[in-house]
Amino acid sequence: MPSSARNRPVQQRSLATIDKILDAATRLLIGSGYAGLTTNRVAAEAEVGIGTVYRYFADKNELLGALRDRASARMTKELIRAIGTSVALEPAAGIRRMFVCLVEALERDRGIIRALASEVPIGLQSNILPEVEAQLAQFCRFFMATHRPDLSDAEIEEYVYLGMALTFSASLRVAIERAPEMDRERLIDHAVGVLTAWLEPPRNRTHTAEPTLGLIE
């Protein structure tokens, strides 16, 4: 997805106008989804002329790109702060803090994330939040290297590769796709339990015998 603003303003008034346009686009995404997002509707919602919208954004995909950039920057700052406090906690508590931070950020930007993940034409939605993913990957590497010194660098990368997929999939389900009857906190606990299990060396895990199929006499 291309970078957002066509003209990169430095004046405070122009920056305020861009924020006004992006806030309007966010409200439309939440209310009407990607299909209901048009530059004309954004201009009307922001109470600016259509020419003002086009001064900064070529089309609605550039608008969505700017919204993604803004959400990603905010989420990245929040994750960096969470990392700073999580590393001193016990593994399960640290992972939970990071996961809750991600879920809350996704909930706040639900309309944008849903459009990026589900409604934008294929080709525009790959690697939805690369900056956020990069921060999470670094956190995962640190935790795996600290708590699983028995693993090789290659094995840590494999865990990170799978862990990132599980983390984003689970956080999206909890934040955006959760059924009304499902308990948010319990889902978070389940997800954290799965992710924390990888930090426990295999020799300390409790194994149960796999069931065998028998013939009914």
pLDDT digits (tens), the chain, 217 positions? 444 455 555 577 788 999 999 999 999 988 888 888 999 999 999 999 999 999 999 998 899 889 989 999 999 999 889 888 888 888 899 999 999 999 999 999 888 888 877 665 544 444 678 888 888 898 889 888 888 899 999 999 999 999 888 898 899 899 988 999 999 999 999 999 998 887 777 665 454 444 444 444 4
* Rounded (5°) CA angle 108-137-121: 55
pTM for the whole thing?
Answer: 0.76
- pLDDT given for residue 153 in this prediction: 94
Q: How far apart are CA 108 and CA 103, in angstroms?
A: 9
Measured in whole angstroms, the distance separating CA 173 from the mean position of its chain's CA atoms is 11
- CATH topology for the 69-196 domain: Tetracycline Repressor; domain 2 (1.10.357)
Q: Which two tokens stand for residue 64?
A: 């969505």
12-58 belongs to CATH 1.10.510.10: no
Contact 82, 123 (CB under 8 A): no
- What residues does each domain of the chain span? 12-58, 69-196
| 12-58 and 69-196, same CATH topology | no
Q: Decide if 46 contacts 53 (C-beta within 8 A).
A: yes
- Find the radius of gyration of the CA atoms of the chain: 21
